[in-house]
A and B are shown apart, each in its own frame.
Chain A
Amino acid sequence: MKHLVLAVAALTAIVSTAAAQNRPAAADTIRMRQANYKQMGGAMHAITEQLRSDSPSIDAIRASSRTIVGHAANVLRWFPRGTGAEAAVPTRARPEIWSDHAGFTRAGAGLLVAARTLDAAARRGDFVAIRAAVPGVSRACSTCHDSYRAPQH
């Protein structure tokens, strides 16, 4: 009997520790993806800044397109179950990310295609192609945000 009580206590301790560890993990994931999206926003800003400048720097555009394509390849991995509204950190990730996973995956794939097109144009230094590719990335961002991100208010 004493052994059983000890065993149950030990098991409870292990399970609750695991749960406690899981919670910060979800919070870290949310913070990580928010920071990454912020970098992508900053990269979009930097590209617009260059494209509207009189002497656009191809290096600055390349650095930004690399940031975007690098994150775009990973976005679908930033949303494990448990990182939605149930998490301890505020997130605007909508439940449709998990309930409509096929749609979300399609949106993520769309971003990667658009980001690769932009990055390829930036690496070639082809400003005409860069200008043509930027709206595609904007659209891919908006498509996903409209369906899978809750509005700010």
Chain B
Amino acid sequence: MIEERVRVWDLPTRLFHWSLVLLVPALWATHEWHRLDLHILLGETMLGLILFRLIWGLIGSSTARFSGFVRGPGAVLRYLRAPRTAFGHNPIGALSVVAMLLVLAIQVGLGLFASDEDALDVGPLSHNISYDSARTLAERHETFFYILLGLIALHVAAILYYRFAKREDLVTPMVTGRREPTLPGEAMAPAPAWRFWVAAALAIAITLAIANFL
């Protein structure tokens, strides 16, 4: 029997995910090419995306909400002992989402205050701290990238593990937004479109305020 695929990830969550896949390499490349002007612009875009995802985690569709997937250590341990396919994020996947958002937020936060040695290409908040502190944070920003890189490697390794060891395709649902339900009747409870516009408007407003007025 072929079960009908049902919605699991809403469009904003998928767009957010694939934007990261494009943005992180673009951020790396603009730094390598010494195009810090573009790097800062893309970094501010990243800030907006993270803010959006945090808001979407509060008011988005059921599978995007933190309250729907973030579990305590007990649930994580139970899952580790007896893994069973989860419809949305499983407890370990939830940890990975939180870790990824946290590491990205820290990396963007460091970049906001960073300054190059000439104080010409500067994060939008670097004028609030001393030149020496801004230089230190720029160095932290460079080294912290390796933490992000490690986390991305872990993320890709986990996807490959699910694909080949557990025969579970995680990539297609992240593209199409659909998968077979694990239990009959299970599906995502979608958020109405107006909530998306509220989250997007809020994220853009906060980003512009940080980039221009603080």
Contact = CB atoms under 8 A, between A and B. Distances in A.
Interface of A: 37-38, 40-46, 48-49, 52-53, 138, 141-142, 145, 151
A68 B25 CA distance: 36
Contacts of B132: 42
A45 B134 contact: yes
Nearest to B120: A138
Contacts of B118: 37, 40-41, 44, 141-142, 145
Contacts of B119: 41-45, 48
B80 to A, nearest CB: 40
B72 to A, nearest CB: 43
B131 interface: yes
Contacts of A52: 127
Interface residues of B, number: 14
B131 A46 contact: yes
A66 B199 CA distance: 47
Interface in B126-153: 126-128, 130-132, 134
The main secondary structure of chain A at its interface with chain B is helix
Contacts of A141: 118, 120
A57 to B, nearest CB: 13
B122 interface: yes
9 contacts: A37-B117, A41-B115, A41-B118, A41-B131, A42-B132, A45-B115, A48-B127, A138-B120, A151-B34
Nearest to A43: B119
Interface in B102-132: 115, 117-120, 122, 126-128, 130-132
Contacts of B130: 45
Contacts of B34: 151
Contacts of B120: 44, 138, 141-142
Contacts of A37: 117-118
